[in-house]
Amino acid sequence: MRFIIPCLLLSFSAFAQNRDSIYPHVPYGDSEILEKVSRMAEEEKPLINVFEMNRLNLMTAKPAQQPWGGSFWPLIQGQIGNRWQKKNYLEFWEMALWRNNVNNFKKNDVKDLRDFDKLNEEELAELAPSEKYDILIGDKSFQLTHNVWNFIERWGEEKKWGFLSSIDLPAGYRIPKANKLMAFWEGICHGWAVAAGTYPRPAKTVTITLPDGRKMPFFPHDIKALVSLYYANSVLQDNVLMEGYRCNEKNPTKDQFGRHIDELPKKEGEAHLPRCADVHPAVWHLGMVNITGIQKRSMIVEIDADAPINNFPFSGYEFKWFNPSTGKTDILEKSVVNLDSFNDPYKANRHPRAKRLVGVETKILYTAWVRPKGTENDSIDKDEIKDQKFMYDLELDEQGNVVGGQWRADKVVRSYNDEQSKPTIKHPDFFWVAPKNVGQYLRPLNLEAWSGTTPTPASWLPAAQAATNFVYNVTQEFGFREKCTVIPLRGRGSKEVDCEFKYPRPQPLVNVIDKLVELSK
């Protein structure tokens, strides 16, 4: 859906009025909150009553499966084409220069991959996960590895324009130049984070015996790499459920209470949404309680409220009630206050049906990413669990049903006049979850039986190469109405035009990773 604002040339007063017309200044409707939570939890009647949460002892919970730690496989280092065991993470050019890493791969391609039959077992063990996979499926052209590195090079050189398939370019206009920088955080965290909470943990090394008798190990982190890439590039990503907005600002504007507020859209056609106010606290809290507290499922949380994207799998939560008038932590009954009984700084922003208020201090637990290790085994005690605290209040009706809420910098809200003294309110940028029926996106093909301890049967190769060469079509044919911003050859201004993209999404064959994980349990 595209949102159009009628005019970008607004006076300051019009600007303020527009900015103040969205959350957090204008409350969400309680029916909107209910609809969002119902959609995220896939429940027709999700739990929304705080007294019932208290009765069911849902103040602390963990998912049934602790998400496993893994790398987000940084793009700058070669993603799963990275020979991670040979990386020196103290060397700047290996950590930060994607072009250097692309050139190193090209040297390795000539030196090793075109003559991989001569590699000894130690050299085989040190290959990248994608390289081991290509050997496993008998692909002597190393298509998965080449496709991974080709994506990195094209993205580094041209960004999204490298995958442009057509564009309605008007006379006198051109495509903007792409910068050749690559962010440290770019990778496949969106694949690892959802896989870690829904797919079994690769727990031990699986050793493959090649036809000539050489042994090639898939360490747990090699298998995690393949699983993460599959989840990142599969159509599952089109069917996840998400709430909140990405904030693109490095230093979002704050109001007098320290809350992030949103400025005007940056270009014509962009919607004016609560991007930096982020996910609504009521949607967040109710989603957390229903998905993890009741259903025992993991979510994925983007914990940074500003520009970088850091998706982490959710490992649990614990929250405490506090009195929003006094700031005192207490039992629920002593923490709920009547809205008309104290001077509420957020009074003008409250839901009209809100009668009472309760404060919530939540500590979330999440599994942090780790650098891959060549250890023989992996277990839950090797995961690195971190935490983050969020503070907010929930607006309640007379029965204790949640109808709204606001993020808080302090338990007792106060105003800040000095820009430098304003606190940073911590809250998720957005959170998302795989659908309950995630298995329908991970179905293996009906292929010849394979033991998993030798290379795959030759009959598997066509299916594997089809997965490796998967291309995601953002085209009119597939129902997309993609728009691109083009700029004039001379002068200023820009124009939105129709365009299409074909993004390569190389994937390992799901049958292969299923078998490797089965043997790795």
| pLDDT at residue 6, rounded to an integer | 26
Q: Which amino acid is at 338?
A: N
What is the DSSP pairing of strand 402-407 with strand 385-396? antiparallel
In the DSSP assignment, the letter for residue 19 is H
Residues paired with 473 in a beta bridge: 502
What is the rounded CA–CA span in Å between residue 484 and residue 507?
27
What is the DSSP pairing of strand 300-302 with strand 430-433? antiparallel
| Rg over CA atoms, the chain | 25
| pLDDT at residue 430, rounded to an integer | 83
Residue 255, both tokens? 């109001």
| pLDDT at residue 4, rounded to an integer | 25
| pLDDT at residue 138, rounded to an integer | 96
What is the rounded CA–CA span in Å between residue 48 and residue 37?
9
Nearest 10 degrees: CA dihedral of 25, 29, 33, 36? -100
| pLDDT at residue 24, rounded to an integer | 72
- Give the count of beta carbons closer than 10 Å to the beta carbon of residue 338: 11
pTM for this structure? 0.87
| pLDDT at residue 310, rounded to an integer | 74
Query: CA distances (Å), 434 to each of 13, 172, 505, in order?
Result: 42, 45, 19
| pLDDT at residue 274, rounded to an integer | 63
| pLDDT at residue 277, rounded to an integer | 61
From 441, 377, 381, 375, select the one nearest 195 (Cα to Cα): 441
- Ranges in the chain, pLDDT < 70: 1-21, 89-95, 245-251, 258, 262-277, 304-309, 419-421
Q: Is 132 exposed, middle or buried (0-12, 13-18, 19+ CB in 10 A)?
A: buried
Task: Find out whether 332 and 358 touch, Cβ atoms under 8 Å.
Answer: yes
Residues paired with 472 in a beta bridge: 503
Dump pLDDT digits (tens) for 405-450.
Answer: 998 888 888 777 776 667 777 778 789 999 999 989 889 999 999 9
Q: Is 497 exposed, middle or buried (0-12, 13-18, 19+ CB in 10 A)?
A: middle
What's the sign of the alpha-carbon dihedral 165, 166, 171, 173?
negative
Residues paired with 241 in a beta bridge: 433
In the DSSP assignment, the letter for residue 204 is B
Q: Check residue 493 and give left, alpha or beta (phi > 0: left; psi -120 to 50: alpha).
A: left
Q: How many residues does the chain have?
A: 521
Name residue, tokens 């564009």. 167
What is the rounded CA–CA span in Å between residue 119 and residue 331?
65
| pLDDT at residue 264, rounded to an integer | 55
| pLDDT at residue 411, rounded to an integer | 83
| pLDDT at residue 14, rounded to an integer | 31
Nearest 10 degrees: CA dihedral of 191, 193, 196, 202? 50
What ranges do the domains of the chain cover?
12-71+239-439, 75-187+443-520
Write the DSSP assignment of 432-485 as a string of letters. EE--TTGGGGSPPP------SSSPPPGGGHHHHHHHHT-EEEESGGGT---EEE
From 228, 198, 202, 236, select the one nearest 64 (Cα to Cα): 198
| pLDDT at residue 59, rounded to an integer | 97
Task: Find out whether 469 and 233 touch, Cβ atoms under 8 Å.
Answer: no
Task: Find out whether 279 and 244 touch, Cβ atoms under 8 Å.
Answer: yes
Task: Find out whether 390 and 424 touch, Cβ atoms under 8 Å.
Answer: no
- Give the count of beta carbons closer than 10 Å to the beta carbon of residue 8: 12
